[in-house]
Amino acid sequence: MEINIENNQEISFDIFLRNFRNNVSKIGLKNSIQKDYILKILYFSKEHLTADEISNKIKQNYNVSIGIATVYRAMKFFHDIKLINQLDIGDGVIRYELNIAEHHDHLICTSCGIIIEFSDDVIELKQISIAEKNNFILKEHVMTIYGICETCQ
């Protein structure tokens, strides 16, 4: 039996979206079709997107115009409920990713702007150890390492 990955991703997104709508409704907040489109773009993106890129992709992929202010309001909403992560690569533009994958950190090239995601158990354990040593309860963290990628060297 052959499995169509694209259909499975669509099914997974449908489940994700249904859960999101249910959870938002339970806490008495509103959802909108614009938020659904934004979530769909973020869900299927393999990149860290800016608000402008999200708006443009919605227009290209679905022929729907969403104002940039609407995208920013939705991103604030998603960030407030911890559904997205914000990433600043040092160019003054915030990029976004869904907060549904396992925790990871980022390497960012200051020359070309490439973003490389990585996970490292030793780093994670060291951060916990440092927090404990300082009588600090670690809730979350963001690690971004800036440098020059292999291509730009």
Binding residues for Zn(2+): 109, 112, 149, 152
- Torsion angles phi and psi, residue 91, rounded to 5: -105, 10
Check the CA dihedral 40-36-54-92 and report its sign.
Answer: negative
Q: Which residues are annotated as a binding site?
A: 103, 105, 109, 112, 124, 141, 149, 152
Alpha helices, DSSP H, located in 27-50: 33-44
- Torsion angles phi and psi, residue 128, rounded to 5: -60, -45
Please say whether the beta carbons of 110 and 152 come within 8 A: no
- Checking DSSP bridges between strand 94-98 and strand 84-88, what pairing results, if any? antiparallel
Q: Which of 79, 91, 78, 96 is nearest to 42 (CA)?
A: 96
Q: Which residues are annotated as a binding site for Fe cation?
A: 103, 105, 124, 141
